[in-house]
Structure 1
Amino acid sequence: MKRGYFDDFKDLKETQGRMFQASEQLSPAGTSPHLPPMAVVEPGGAEVLFPPSQDSMRVGLLCIAFRAGAEDKLRSWSEPFREAMQGRSGARWFDMSLVESVVMRIWPFKQMILRSGLTKPTAPAEACQLQPEHIFHFGDATEIRRVLGMTNRLTGYAYLIDGKGRVRWRGSGQATAAEAENLVACSKELLSGGD
């Protein structure tokens, strides 16, 4: 039977949004799943393929939300990453919204969603060189949800991907201090070329 909103809400209350424990270390490159290629839309309307290919990225933090209510949870992962990675080449931060609703994929709703990506707050350029790259996927997300283990649409998910688009680390819900430290340590390991 297909899960609905009330199933997700009940699950969220019971787990506090933590659908799985955050990884303590990087998963081996050979056994890490590849992100399925998907068309995403940038806030300006340009359609691009994700994950990026032929890129100089060595580590990317991918924060995924289905609903705006997950943004606070995602901030608990993205802020430590941003602080640790600022000024380092090879690090990128993607803020992805998955929009599955047929209604929200049509004009004018789609335009409103894209416009929200242009108005999301970012840190001042002089304070932080690493800025989130807001991207949106409109349409069926069954395959990416399956690959990434995203069972609940009301929480937020954080993943570290390497330069080959492999998922090397994952977390969900609100990060604890220890989980944030693990995220940073794994990010630095990937940045230094660790497999």
Structure 2
Amino acid sequence: FGNKKAIEDERARLNDEMNRGYFADMKEFKEHGGKIADANKTVIPALSAVKFPELAVTLSNGKVLKLPISCSSGEVNEESLAVPKVSFVCLSFRASSQVQIIPHWLFVSFFKWNQENGMISSWSKPFLESFGDRKDLQVFEVSFIDKWLLGLAPIKKLLLRVLQKQKNNESSVLQRQVVYSFGDHYHFRKETKILNLLTGYILLLDKSGRIRWQGFGTATPEEVSQLLSCTSQLLEDQ
């Protein structure tokens, strides 16, 4: 029975991947520039908010964390981490969809480009400017890396070592943490209903790890205002 279910799941996955590939993403991207939907204007009510799926991420120093950092998170007990009232999470798949088997210096430049991606910074920059003095917030910029070559231990270690050398010039109390999720992310995408891998996904999580706000693509001035307003509301409510 187990094998039969596994086969059915794999068939469903192959069907999804065939029907939703790079060219479909690119066609959509050309139509809307990554803005697959408008950002939420208000905070999603707690009762209707869905939980952010558990996700293992790696920092540039090689340390592994599990997101979200919430009240029930094992990371809080094991690592003595404080539970943030709000977590600002940016999800980016673009670099992992373009990296091929290429020289070391070139794929490093892809990740550096990904960290400076205009879509993500259009949200994170004003967020850090507005809440840079807060200690009850956390910022995570997650890059998904599904290429098997980059997940191999020696190459992964080398990649993280190079990334660790990149200096962080931010002086605010609230620091953005650029992290990486290695390996297959199909089931994570299914749970979060992520289809287009060429755009960015911006989330606000509450202290219970629930998704309370979402944004997509490049931020408009109005959406930045909504992001900051909803963050302030979540901070007050918790």
The residue correspondences of 1:4-153 to structure 2 (distance < 5 A) are 4-52=21-69, 53=73, 54=76, 55-68=82-95, 71-115=117-161, 117-120=163-166, 122-125=168-171, 128-153=172-197
Structure that is richer in strand per residue: 1
Greater relative contact order structure (CA < 8 Å, 6+ sep): 1
What is the deviation of 1:117? 4.2
d(CA) in 1 for partners of 2:118 and 2:125? 11
Q: CA RMSD in A?
A: 1.9
Moved over 6 A (4+): none
Q: Which has the larger radius of gyration?
A: 2
Q: Deviations over 1:75-127 (max 9, x none)?
A: 011111111111122111101111122222114442354245425563432xx
SS of corresponding position for 2:237: coil
What is the deviation of 1:17? 0.5
**TM-score, reference length from structure 1:** 0.89
Q: Deviations over 1:50-82 (max 9, x none)?
A: 111244301111011112466210101111111
d(CA) in 1 for partners of 2:166 and 2:90? 14
Percent of matched pairs sharing the same residue: 32
Q: 1:34–1:167: 8 Å Cα contact kept in structure 2?
A: yes
Alignment size in residue pairs? 192
For 1:17, give the aligned amino acid.
G
Structure 2 gaps of 5+ residues are 1-14, 77-81, 96-112
Structure that is richer in helix per residue: 2
**TM-score, reference length from structure 2:** 0.74
Q: 1:19–1:151: 8 Å Cα contact kept in structure 2?
A: no
d(CA) in 2 for partners of 1:112 and 1:171? 33
d(CA) in 1 for partners of 2:163 and 2:42? 31
Q: 1:38–1:49: 8 Å Cα contact kept in structure 2?
A: yes
For 1:143, give the aligned amino acid.
H
